[in-house]
Structure 1
């Protein structure tokens, strides 16, 4: 690589001969001693505030340097997760990227009043881990093991940007299922099918054995799909991708008004792509 040292970068000679590599052409300016002394005195009196410094990187601003709208929250204010800023409108987004799952509220179903409650790790970890260790669940979720296995699955969602919200499903006030409501268009799943903006995905497991095989899953899937379509006006489709081998799950989705759109090869399974369209919700 050519050197960038100024002493070796010569300019073409005005006469067209080879460029000179000596300093004979350099203009030697000698400043009067009085002039140099004047600048030396001013430099000694200069304060650090007079020095030119680089503009601070916005990522390193502390709470005293931040503009008012970026200041650290008041110590007595409730903790707020640092959701990304909405670059379109300049306002903070809702509490997640799914139009506020925590505020969706309860809904009536043929099997009772149902509500999605976002996971609180300290409260729900042992319960969800117990469900994951049920052999019938572990065969497809593959999250059996000690508490840390389930915790490692939940934390990225809880600490993420809100594109996936893990929830406990309450039926008449009793926790009985685990759900993940997620932005399918922002998920790796979108690489495997023609995703549309705001496609919303569902993952589900029924925790209690007594609630399996008697239509509870079908009723809840239909209810949650309706919740998504009611609470997310921008969403035109609810999607799911159960393992194609999980016949009871695929059957429950079909009975809940989903259609089998395609079979897709995902990194960890061959899946049935199930879709519930807003336009067909009253027909299926």
Structure 2
């Protein structure tokens, strides 16, 4: 998958093999919104084993130049994360993503990642709309979401956070990335 000058591949996450790298990412201060700051490697592996066993939640590892570069989670909001918090439509897909910390930041890399994630999710013709629920305080991700076509609907209260419920249709995404 190519996004401007960046090429990514996305593969299913292997909890045993990938737990070490994920642990490094989710315990970084910048990953505070993943709520795993104090997790041990075995906690991360356990969490992703649970996701791997869940028919409504899937985790993927994004690679750049063959190296792990981001985590992406896809879930069915009718069964996970948003049950009872909004009225899901057929074709809704929930998404989370986390970009790996970089020794040398690359301008536009995170926007390239979210664009690749969105393109990957919309490759499935059954996906009509992508749903996200980032923490209301995470203004950096709100800006990224807007850049790829997300439109905020309203704030919602989840058990672990106050979140900004936002949606992006296939058409909104296409228009945003064409701009």
Normalization by structure 1: what TM-score? 0.58
Q: In the TM superposition, what are the counterparts of 1:1-284 in structure 2 within 5 Å?
A: 107-137=1-31, 139-144=32-37, 145-161=39-55, 163-210=56-103, 214-230=107-123, 232-284=124-176
1:195-241 Cα distance to aligned partner (Å, 9 max, x none): 112311111111123476833222221222122122x2122101111
Secondary structure at the aligned position of 2:174 is classed as: coil
- Answer yes or no: is the 8 Å Cα contact 2:61–2:68 preserved in 1: yes
Higher strand share goes to which structure? 2
Decide whether aligned partners of structure 1 residues 110 and 200 sit closer, same or farther in structure 2, where only a CA change above 3 A counts.
same
**Which is higher, the Rg of structure 1 or of structure 2?**
1
Q: State the Cα RMSD in Å.
A: 1.8
- Answer yes or no: is the 8 Å Cα contact 1:169–1:178 preserved in 2: yes
Decide whether aligned partners of structure 1 residues 199 and 259 sit closer, same or farther in structure 2, where only a CA change above 3 A counts.
same
Give the length in aligned residue pairs. Answer: 175
The whole-number CA distance in structure 2 between the counterparts of 1:155 and 1:251 is 31
Q: Is there any run of 5+ residues in structure 2 with no aligned partner, and where?
A: none
Decide whether aligned partners of structure 1 residues 126 and 164 sit closer, same or farther in structure 2, where only a CA change above 3 A counts.
same
The whole-number CA distance in structure 1 between the counterparts of 2:81 and 2:101 is 30
Normalization by structure 2: what TM-score? 0.89
For 1:76, the equivalent position in structure 2 comes to none
- Answer yes or no: is the 8 Å Cα contact 1:203–1:240 preserved in 2: yes
Decide whether aligned partners of structure 1 residues 128 and 191 sit closer, same or farther in structure 2, where only a CA change above 3 A counts.
same
Higher RCO (C-alpha under 8 Å, 6+ residues apart): 2
